[in-house]
Structure 1
């Protein structure tokens, strides 16, 4: 087997350029200081967590949010990854406990959390108190619903690990639409919006959210594969599942994943975007809808830039990998993760 892999440049033709929120340099450090104060990690893991710079992800993903709303976006990205890092090796029953703690804190944010409870409870509670303070009831209702689906999906992912379940590629993407966290992330775009439910549930918008999520999942799985296979944690990665299902090597699996990505990008750009722009919505809703759709379409570019600009997957080598796309394949069980 070759000692290198090539990370496909899946967004070479994606027409949405890199944008970053103008409040990034002030808001991201505030959020990082806030989450660090919970001492959710030991010193070494905290340093690794900080290098991932989840405030950068929020600022690239939400370039048009106000300063106040960007803080909510940064906080939720930090919350996501605290929850992710604390659950990604636990058995399903233990993940269920953490999921229920986070959900209870969101549903009862005025309740004092129990002493010695895992930090995710208080992080969730404080995040949600601030989010409620500066958001619309429409956002609040949707976010709570989406957060429940997210934490439940992480429990299901853990139970897959418990039983070493190999999903089909389509089964994987169906679950990944929840575990990747895109649904509550897209809800953040709505912090100041009030899109009626019937417009939000239009089949074109449902398809847009699902397809953009598939794009994000495919990009994420291709970028994270090297780190995950080295740690033996690649059961929930589409590249591994393609190799298993189709009996192909790594390079063929990456090419197949890139082809799936290209199909979905074409569908978004050629089919969905023109149709959504032609939707007949009330004038009072049109501006909110345009803001929301632009935010969803920006996510692939924002996520891709963060993949290489942070140290999450490639450490200090990210900018070079972004240019050259070639990565050394890590040996199994080597401690390679630049982040937690």
Structure 2
């Protein structure tokens, strides 16, 4: 460690150009400004997130780029869900295993029985969302959503245990866990709500469909780890991030780890596109719905990249500059692993 008062050298990291890998247009839901006002009112009413955190997170923008075709009720439901996830993510990131488990139990309990929330503001907010989502979602999508949320919350609690024990998991185990604790499967369930479709469970069991679906999950969490790494390092939470796992498990320096992550993203994007192009027929009654859902996954992935720079969540006020240059600075290598 350098002596007190002496600045540590900055490392300039070249980010992989994920938007260049998937050069698709960005569409923002025309109800974004309408949503911004109402979401803020909802958050303040329930009191589980500060206005400052909500504004830097900008869940309304994420909802609007991830669900550009959603009606106002569906868009509001998606945004409220994203805000709940952000609050839970920020809270459990700072909690030990026992308290993180309690937070996850409250979340899941309020989803399962929204008529009986606990006394906490967060629990009441979850219950409010759960009632509205269940009213609008198809029975198939709702059942999948609950299954995905249970898996998500279980792995979030497990992650806290690893963090308590200062364990960097093996890469294979990390990927398995990350596919669940990124919560993208539950997020993708809301695409059906946006589009007003009801995909039968047999489609989710089709091998070709699953190639595209699972690739979309990997694209989302990998992009998130690339962009959130600097924020997590700043807050001492960088141990559970794929960049750190690459550095430790594959014995890479930080730039090599980012380069490797970019190559992985491009490989997965190509796999997604190949699966999209070769999607089999599921019958005339389902083919158009499947096509629209797969396009919804694609929109989510590119929208998530755009939001990562446009919000202040990861890069503060420098997001557009980082997006333009693909360069980000970190102060010291010593604090990274």
- Name the TM-score, length of structure 1 as normaliser: 0.91
Please, which of 154, 165, 185 is the counterpart of residue 187 of structure 2? Answer: 185
Equivalent residue for 2:65? 60
Q: Is 2:12 aligned against 1:4?
A: yes
Distance 1:332 1:49, change over 3 A: farther
> Over aligned residue pairs, what C-alpha RMSD do you find?
1.8
CA distance in 2, matches of 1:126, 1:3: 45
1:176 match = 178
Q: C-alpha distance in 2, partners of 1:66/1:204?
A: 30
Query: Is 1:106 aligned with 2:108?
Result: no
CA distance in 2, matches of 1:19, 1:180: 23
Q: Does residue 235 in structure 1 map to residue 277 in structure 2?
A: no
Alignment of 1:157 with 2:159, yes or no, is yes
**Residue number in structure 2 paired with 1:39:** 47
Aligned twin of 2:216? 212
Q: Distance in 1 between matches of 2:155 and 2:173?
A: 13
Seen in structure 2, the aligned counterparts of structure 1 residues 332 and 85 have a Cα distance that, compared at 3 Å, is farther
Deviates more, 1:128-137 or 1:233-242: 128-137
The question of whether the paired residues in 2 share the 8 Å contact of 1:68 and 1:134 is answered with no
Partner residue, 1:259: 263
Query: How far is the alpha carbon of 1:230 from its aligned partner?
Result: 2.4
Deviation by residue 1:180-225 (Cα, 9 ceiling, x = unmatched): 1100000001122211110122112222222112112221111111
Q: Which range moved further: 31-40 or 84-93? A: 31-40
- Does the C-alpha gap of structure 1 residues 15 and 202 become closer, same or farther in structure 2, counting only changes over 3 Å? farther
- In structure 2, what is the equivalent of residue 48 of structure 1? 53
- Equivalenced residues, count: 325
1:231 Cα offset (Å): 2.1
Give the 3-state SS of the residue equivalent to 1:190 in structure 2: helix
CA distance in structure 1 between the aligned counterparts of 2:171 and 2:88, rounded to whole angstroms: 25
**Partner-residue secondary structure (3-state), 2:61:** helix
280-289 vs 311-320, greater mean Cα deviation: 280-289
1:138–1:193 contact (8 Å) kept in structure 2: no
Q: In the alignment, which residue of structure 2 is the partner of 1:274? A: 277
CA distance in 2, matches of 1:238, 1:294: 26
> What's the CA shift for 1:332?
8.1
- Does the CA contact (< 8 Å) of 1:98 and 1:120 recur in 2? no
Shift of 1:102: 1.2
User: Which ranges in structure 1 are unaligned for 5 or more consecutive residues?
Assistant: 335-340
- Residue 227 of structure 1 deviates from its aligned partner by 1.7
Quote how far apart the aligned CAs of 1:177 are: 0.7
Q: Tell me which stretches of 4 or more aligned residues in structure 1 moved more than 3 Å.
A: 330-334
- Identify the match of residue 222 of structure 1 among 198, 220, 226: 226
Alpha-carbon distance in 2 for matches of 1:86, 1:135: 28
